[in-house]
Amino acid sequence: MIEQYLLSGVTTGAIYALVALGFTIIYNASHVINFAQGEFVMIGGMASAAFFEAGIPLPAAVALSIATATLVGVLLEKLAVGPAREASVVTLIIITIGASILLRGLATLVWDKKIHRVPAFSGETPIALGGATLLPQVLWVLGVSAVAVALLAWFFRRTLTGKAILAVSHNRLAARLMGISVRRVLAVSFGLSAALGALAGVLIAPIAFTSWDVGVMLGLKGFAAAILGGLGSSAGAVLGGLALGLIEALGAGYLSSAYKDVFAFLIIVAALVFLPNGLLGRRAAERV
């Protein structure tokens, strides 16, 4: 039975990890926790379902839905976050909460309040692994998470735009004096994390379906995973997500399924008390 609990944990963990990754980019650029991240996930899922139901082949529907979400992310920055960029981080976070409510409302108008499905990328025949089973789609989620982590590491270390994002997060004024456009960095980071969120939404939809309100819980769990792994660290986000999924599955299996979320959040609280920067978070340098 332990094998099935572990695979179940990996399934949920992979989903949390992918959602958590989206939080890291905007956090790296602005120290803002984007509470509309879950809505990007929702837009990815709902848009791909809508495009697919309209008769567009799956790969094109996936690409279109990611493009849609990227556009929404950039618009969110242009219309709401950018104009208030000189405000405090808390204000910006509250703006993202407002944006999440708005996006949920818009989703019910643009699409509907029904639950939708997106077909699995490589069929639904479970893969047997030592007496337990795993859906092929979970491998997609895991694989894409790994590729995303590698690409993000390359992006932040090797490209000028990535370095500019990190520079803005370290010292906005100094970055601006060096000729970096803070507005552009913010727009790029919102677009990028929206794209990543939408990708997560598309990959998750065949496993867990999608509807206008899936972003709420996925966003919350992804945020918890990002905190556990250390905010701002891509590898940490994946590690945090997998850890959270495994804790939940093992808690449900061996203790009580009624309290599985309680265990998960208790462990996060404990982790924050003893490891304030998460599993892989960089210690924030305190300037005196």
The binding site for other proteins (CB under 8 A) comprises: 1, 4-5, 7-9, 11-12, 15, 113-115, 117, 124, 126, 132-133, 135, 204, 207-209, 211, 214, 216-218, 221, 248-250, 252-253, 257-258, 260-261
Nearer to other proteins (CB atom), residue 190 or residue 223: 223
In whole angstroms, the minimum distance from the beta carbon of 257 to other proteins comes to 4
Task: Report DSSP state, residue 210.
Answer: B
Question: Is 3 or 67 the residue whose CB approaches other proteins more closely?
Answer: 3
Residue type, 10: V
Residues in the chain: 288
Q: How far is the CB of 102 from other proteins (least distance, A)?
A: 17
Residue 11 or 30 with smaller CB distance to other proteins: 11
SS3 assignment, position 275? coil
> How far apart are CB 132 and other proteins at their closest, in Å?
8
Instruction: Report d(CA 191, CA 67) in Å as an integer.
Output: 9
Which positions ≥6 away from 6 have C-beta within 8 Å? 132, 246, 249, 250
**Residue 19 or 271 with smaller CB distance to other proteins:** 19
Smallest separation (angstroms) from other proteins to the CB of 139: 14
Alpha helices, DSSP H only, in 31-135?
37-53, 58-76, 89-110
CA distance 87 to 94: 11
Type of residue numbered 57? P
In sequence order, what are the beta bridge partners of 132?
Answer: 129
As measured in angstroms, the least distance from the Cβ of 258 to other proteins is 5
For other proteins, the closer of residues 114 and 158 by Cβ is 114
Query: Quick one: which of 11, 257, 234 has its CA closest to 132?
Result: 11
Q: Which is nearer to other proteins, 112 or 159 (CB)?
A: 112
Tell me the closest approach of the beta carbon of residue 251 to other proteins, in angstroms.
8
Assess contact for 219 and 41: CB atoms under 8 A: yes
Least gap, CB of 21 to other proteins (angstroms): 16
The nearer residue to other proteins, 30 or 211, going by C-beta atoms, is 211
Alpha carbon distances (Å) from 82 to 30, 95, 157, 167? 11, 11, 25, 18
